[in-house]
A = this chain, B = another copy of it.
Amino acid sequence: MKRILITGGAGFIGANLARRLLAEGHAVTILDNFYTGRRDNLAGLGVTLLERDVRDGVPGEWDWIFDLACPASPPHYQRDPLFTLTTSIDGIRAVLEAAQRCGARVLHASTSEVYGDPLVHPQPETDWGHVNTVGIRSCYDEGKRVAETFALEHRRAYGTDVRLVRIFNTYGPHMDPADGRVVSNFILQALRDEPITLYGDGSQTRSFQFVDDLVEGFLAYIQADPAALDAFFAPKGYAIPVLNMGNPGEFTVRQLAEEVLRQIPTSRSELVFRPLPGDDPKRRKPDIAWASECLGWRPTIPLAQGLAKTIAYFRALA
C-alpha cells in the first residue's frame, strides 16, 4: 500500500485514477481547489480530501504524487489566464518541493499541447514543438512547457524522481460536461438533440484515448524502476523521463461526430460548421514507440467501445 497524493484529483483524469488506485488497495488523498474539479467525482469514494490551492504548497508525506492540477480545456484555461499560468508554474514548484522534502516519486501530467501546432506528424517526444508565446492558447501551452523545464532542473539539482507524461486527447466517464471538449460536446449535443458543432470543415484529426488506457499507463510508469528509466533515457540525451501517452488511432472530428450519432440512433442532431478559433492545432497524433518500448504499454480500447462507456456515463448524469 502506497501513500498517494493526486493534485487536481477531483478532475476528470484524477477521478478515474483515484478509483483505480483505491481498487488496488492504496491510500489516496486528493488535493483540489475545485476551480475545475467536481465534488461529484469524489462522492462516496473514500479518499481523503485536502481542499486547497496547489500553489499554496503541498503538505504531507507521500510515496507517490500524481501532479494533475491545472485547468486543461480552453474554456477553463482561458477564463483566467494568469491563474492558469501560475497554477502550472507555482503548482509544479510546490509539488517538487514536497517531493524533495518527503522523497516522493512524482508523475507530472504534461500535455500534447507542448507540441502546439506540430510540424512533425505523428509527434515523437523528441519534437520540440511549435507554440506561440503570445497567443490565446499561450497561457496553457507555455505554462505547461516551462513546468517541464522546472521538473528537469529540479531533478538535475536535487535528484527528485519526477517523470513527465505528455497526455494526448483523452475521454471517458467523469469528463466535465461543461469543459467544451469535443467528445463531451458531441455526446451532450446528440443526447439533447442539439446541432453538433464542428469547427472548420471537421477534417482536422485528433487521437482519442480512453481514460482507462491512460490510467494503465500511469500505473506502469510510476512503478517503473528508476534505474531502468535512466538506462532508457540517458543514452537519448534526456536527463528526465518524458513519455507520450495517447491513442495513435487517428480520426477526423467529423468521423467522431458520426460515430457518436451512430451510437445514439434516436438523436435528431445534425452537423453544423463554425469558424476555427485562433491557434487551433490542426493535427495531433502521438508517437508512442517510447512508452511501448520502455513500459510495454499501449492503448487497447477501441474508440467505439470507449465511446459506449462515455455515452452511458453522460446518459446517467442527465
Could you list which residues of chain A lie within 8 angstroms of chain B, going by C-beta atoms?
81-82, 85, 89, 114, 116-117, 119, 128-134, 138-139, 142-143, 145-146, 148-150, 152-154, 156-157, 164, 237-240, 242, 278
Contact = CB atoms under 8 A, between A and B. Distances in A.
Q: Interface centre among A128, A240, A278, by most B CB within 10 Å?
A: A128
Contact of A133 (B128, B130, B156): B128
A209 to B, nearest CB: 21
Contacts of A237: 278
Nearest to A237: B278
A164 B130 CA distance: 20
A141 to B, nearest CB: 8
Given A128-B133, A143-B146, A138 B119 contact: no
Contacts of A85: 146, 149-150, 153
Contact of A148 (B114, B128, B133): B133
A62 to B, nearest CB: 22
A114 B238 CA distance: 21
Contacts of A139: 149, 153
Contacts of A239: 134
A131 to B, nearest CB: 6
Q: Interface centre among A131, A134, A142, A143, by most B CB within 10 Å?
A: A134
